[in-house]
Amino acid sequence: MADDYQMPKGELMKGKRGVVTGVANHQSIAWGIAAQLAAQGAEMAFLHLPGMERRVEALAQQAGVKLLAPADVTDDASMDAAFAAVEKAFGTIDFFVHAIAFANKDELKGSFVDNTTRDGFLRALNISAFSFVDCARRASALMPNGGSILTLTYMGSERAIPNYNTMGVAKAALEAAVRYAARDLGPKGIRVNALSPGAMRTLSLAGISGGRGMLSKGRSLSAMKQDTAMEGVAGAALWLLSDLGLSTTGEVIHVDAGFHIMGFTEDEGGEA
Ligand code: NAD
């Protein structure tokens, strides 16, 4: 996949400043979103997992990023330092993108009941769901004029998808957290939403046993018989992060070529 998406240019994010987390490489969903935000005039900071600097630097440059700082969501000191750096660089922000998830590989295969450990479960929930609550608290403190917070989920929260297991439970918690955060932050003019893309070829997907199957099933079982396009995810993010999304909060928006609406397909017995 190219790292030079031709995202529609414009001024929808002109004058807006914000933070994008979760850029690991050119395949990251966060990168697609950042490329679209940059093409619409946003000023951004990237917060990345410590140790990823060298991978992320070139992309940050490409998007004209003002601040590149490490932030491990499991480490309060690292989060304190990262948000202090954002405040120093920008003062206030208008948007925040949370694109972070992790579960041990061993938990992402086979039987959910047999393979889920206490440590693995808590780690997945900590990094993939609690981190969102923590980020929403920290980001909203920098949004005195309102703003928009966005996270990324997957349909494995709603239905049992092979191998997704613990991550599905974490995503269910994440989606509930979106609704509670939207309720709390709504009166402050801060909107909180999630995008639920179909399977996409990223580092995270590679960590899931049978990730390729998720891609091919995502395509063949979708209404459109297509892969989920980065441009489609980035476009939906632009809608929610810009003023176009003015009255939308607490939502989980599927961007999956219609994967989630399907019952069963013709070749599974749908013909008359
Ligand atoms: P990715 O691997 O590019 O991004 C995941 C990011 O999480 C990485 O940048 C990684 O550094 C970061 N991360 C992990 N542990 C961290 C920690 N302790 N502190 C800070 N950052 C940490 O993969 P992606 O697919 O772009 O994932 C982004 C989001 O999109 C995730 O929430 C993922 O679940 C979600 N999503 C992915 C798909 C898909 O098929 N790829 C589909 C739907 C939703």
**CATH at 201:** 3.40.50.720
CA–CA distance, 40 with 44 (Å, rounded to integer) = 12
- Burial class of residue 110 (count of CB atoms within 10 Å of its CB; 0-12, 13-18, 19+): middle
In a domain, 123, yes or no: yes
Contacts of 240 (CB under 8 A, 6+ apart): 148, 150, 191, 193, 195, 248, 253
* Phi, psi (degrees; rounded to nearest 5) at 66: -85, -30
In a domain, 234, yes or no: yes
The CB density around residue 162, as the number of other CB atoms within 10 Å, is: 15
Per the structure, the count of domains in the chain is 1
Of 131, 204, 217, best ligand 1 pocket probe by most atoms within 8 Å of the beta carbon: 204
Q: Which ligand 1 atom lies nearest to the CA of residue 27?
A: 3
Ligand 1 neighbourhood includes 265 CB (under 6 angstroms): no
Question: Catalytic positions, please?
Answer: 154, 164
Domain range spanning residue 89?
17-257
3-state SS class at 173: helix
What's the N-to-C CA distance of the chain in angstroms? Answer: 40
* Residue 228 belongs to a domain: yes
Per-residue pLDDT of the chain (272 residues; tens, 9 = 90+): 345 688 999 999 999 999 999 999 999 999 999 999 999 999 999 999 999 999 999 999 999 999 999 999 999 999 999 999 999 999 999 999 999 999 999 999 999 999 999 999 999 999 999 999 999 999 999 999 999 999 999 999 999 999 999 999 999 999 999 999 999 999 999 999 999 999 999 999 998 988 889 999 999 999 999 999 999 999 999 999 999 999 999 999 999 999 999 998 777 776 65
Per the domain annotation, does 88 fall within a domain? yes
What is the model's pTM? 0.97
Quickly tell me which residue has 């966060």 as its tokens. Answer: 30
The protein residue with its alpha carbon nearest to ligand 1, atom 21, reads: 49
Residue 135 lies in a domain: yes
Do the domain assignments include residue 11?
no
* Tokens 């900071």 found at: 45
Please indicate, yes or no, if residue 264 is contained in any of the structural domains: no
Q: Tokens at residue 155, please?
A: 């349909």
Report residue 110: phi and psi, to 5°.
65, -140
CA of 272 to the centre of ligand 1 (A): 42
For residue 27, what are its two tokens? 């395949």
Distance 268 CA to ligand 1 centre (A): 32
